[in-house]
Amino acid sequence: MDALLALLFPDRCVGCGHLGALFCPTCRAALRPYPLDDPPPGLDAMLVPWLYAGPLRQAIHRMKYRSQRRLAAPLGDLLAEALRRQPQPADAIIPVPLHATRLAERGFNQSSELAARIARATGLPLVSGLERCRDTGHQAQLGRRERHDNIAAAFVWNVYTPPPARVLLVDDVLTTGATLVACGDALRAVGTQEVRAVALARSLAPAQKMIQ
């Protein structure tokens, strides 16, 4: 049945519109690498493979804001490939949670969808228990300090069993890193020793970095 549906209604690439795949090989090949960067204080390591621009930005935007949940599959597989090239030692994978209000609005957590693909590819367990206990609203228009203040203490570990000692946090887009650091703070408060993070993409800080 799936094969028949694919024949009758073939996927169209969200980047270029060509038929055949949700995110085609041509658009994947056009991804621009994000320059190597140190993790923000509070994270032991950080992997952000690509710049938040072009076809990848379109794909992430459609996944999050146009409810194209299926895009999490090719995007999650891209992240899994990046992790194979640059492994991040961890005992488990934890997605950055959405607040219940935002989850109800969107219908799914894009970070959870990406994390599930990574877990399937790596064999690492996907662990739940991290909760966003406060609705922080949209942070897109906030500055660095405002983001930090807005997200502080917004996460808690909500189960009785302690979290894994080494955690790999998964998010879709990294901006200042404030959200990931706040997640790490909540995990360290209840026993996690190492917190690494991976995100699909990050925007360049204006006039601070150049792609070589």
Per-residue pLDDT tens digits for 23-46? 999 999 999 999 988 998 899 999
Q: Where would I find the H helices in 46-160? A: 54-65, 72-85, 100-106, 110-122, 144-151
Q: What's the pLDDT at 148?
A: 55
Rounded to whole angstroms, the Cα distance separating 62 from 71 reads: 8
pTM for the predicted model, two decimal places: 0.87
Residue with the larger pLDDT of the pair 146 and 14:
14
Q: What's the pLDDT at 45?
A: 97
Domains of the chain plus CATH, in order, are 32-202 (3.40.50)
92-135 pLDDT, tens digit per residue, is 999 999 999 999 999 999 999 999 999 999 999 999 999 998 76
Burial class (CB in 10 A: 0-12, 13-18, 19+), 171: buried
Nearest C-alpha neighbor of 108 from the set 46, 54, 172, 175: 172
Strand stretches in 45-90, DSSP E: 45-47, 50-51
Vertex 91: Cα angle to 195 and 129 (nearest 5): 70
Q: What's the pLDDT at 5?
A: 38
- Residues β-bridged to residue 94: 169
Rounded to whole angstroms, the Cα distance separating 200 from 187 reads: 22
